[in-house]
Amino acid sequence: MPEGALGVARDNTGIAAGVTSSPGPDGPVWIASYMKSGNTWMRLMMMHLLKPHEESWTPDQQITVGTGPLPRSDIERASFIDTSLLSADEQDLLRPLLCDAEAREQPERCFFKTHDAYRFNRDGAPIHGSAPRQAALYLVRDPRDIAISLATFWNWSRERTVAFMNNPEGDLQGIPRHFSRQIFQKTLDWSAHIASWLEQDRVPTLPIRYEDLRAAPGHWLARALDFLEIRASTAEIDRAVQLTDFKRLKREEEAHGFSERFKPEIPFFRRGETGEGRALLDPELLASIERVHAPMMARLGYSAATGTGPP
């Protein structure tokens, strides 16, 4: 894929994603993605870069960059509201208030993780809040590879996982049970999730393909930092990349576990390879993904394996 295909300007694929204005040096940053697209990996890179004292961090500890106002327990302590009594619409009314309040209270520039689509509540407010000078790093990944990784991670069949990824009404409420501890999050389907972030014009957004990040992590980390107007030396970037090398993370997880596992017996850092979906998915599942998501796959440079999707 050409260097600029997910960059600042519209290219010949027609993608209109990227920087819509300078995000500024102090607003909250969203690290956003569909599930299993490199979100946690980017959070770890940012943690080791912004908080170098975390070098002794092991995967059984909380990641200290890229949290978010999602845990029900935190919300209930702050608001004295039993969130289990609220509908999804009512929870969405709380979201902007929670996001903006947390951004105001952070003594430093805050980073939030989100798997939610960029969307609006019934009052017309963006659920990610309206704090000034927001910015987003948006991670995208080949949906066929996501299907393999997500099925393993959630301990689902590949058929069920592909059906979820193709569901335009997809949400994470209790799927899997881990998300019951968080307030309502709507993912839509894979294509709609991406479009919701890349086509909105409120939050300047830098899209980063997982495949490109795997191939050149230092380059894309530097691109992200430049977009966010964060200064870092080449040595600091190299150090963050070294500390988040996938094989290293996998070894550390094997030794210590990982705080964000859904099931103790299922590793979080599995293989992280690119292209395995094309090789491992059954032909009918490949065809289903490529048929439903053909326009977005073409837009992002993901070629078809079955002839039912983009050339």
The DSSP-derived string for 105-125 is H-SS--EEEE-S-S-B-TTS-
pLDDT in the model for residue 245? 83
How far apart CA 57 and CA 62 sit, in angstroms, is: 9
| Integer Cα distance of 45 and 51 in angstroms | 10
pLDDT of residue 275: 85
Q: What per-residue confidence (pLDDT) applies to 4?
A: 37
Sheet with 135-140: list strands edge to edge. Answer: 111-114, 29-33, 135-140, 205-209
Per-residue model confidence as pLDDT tens digits over 246-271? 777 777 766 665 655 555 555 555 56
257 close to 277: Cβ distance less than 8 angstroms: no
Average of per-residue pLDDT across 117-138: 96
Q: Is the pLDDT of residue 1 over 60?
A: no
- Summarised one tens digit per residue, pLDDT across range 133-184 is 999 999 999 999 999 989 988 889 999 999 999 999 999 886 645 556 778 8
Residues 6 or more apart whose CB falls under 8 angstroms from that of 166 comprise 189, 190, 288, 289, 292, 293
The kind and range of the H/E element at 140 are strand 135-140
Least confident of 61-65, 125-129, 190-194, 247-251: 61-65
What local confidence, expressed as pLDDT, does residue 61 receive? 66
The whole-model pTM stands at 0.85
- Give buried/exposed letters for 4-43 (b at 16+ CB in 10 A, else e): ebbbeeebeeebebbeeeebeeebbbbbbbbbbbbbbbbb
Among residues 215, 186, 188, the alpha carbon closest in space to that of 275 is found at: 215
pLDDT of amino acid 229: 93
Average pLDDT rounded to a whole number, residues 193-200: 98
pLDDT one-digit tens code per residue, 46-74:
988 888 776 676 666 666 677 766 677 77
Q: Is residue 215 predicted with pLDDT exceeding 90?
A: yes
Phi, psi of 65 (to 5 degrees): -125, 130
pLDDT in tens, 140-149: 999 999 999 8
Question: What pLDDT, on the 0 to 100 scale, is given for residue 165?
Answer: 98
Our CA angle for 173, 89, 123, nearest 5°, is 145
| Distant-in-sequence contacts of 216-219, Cβ < 8 A, 24+ apart | 217/45, 217/241, 217/244
Percent of the chain with pLDDT over 70: 77
In tens, the pLDDT along 86-104 reads: 888 988 998 898 889 888 8
Q: What is the mean pLDDT of residues 222-232?
A: 95
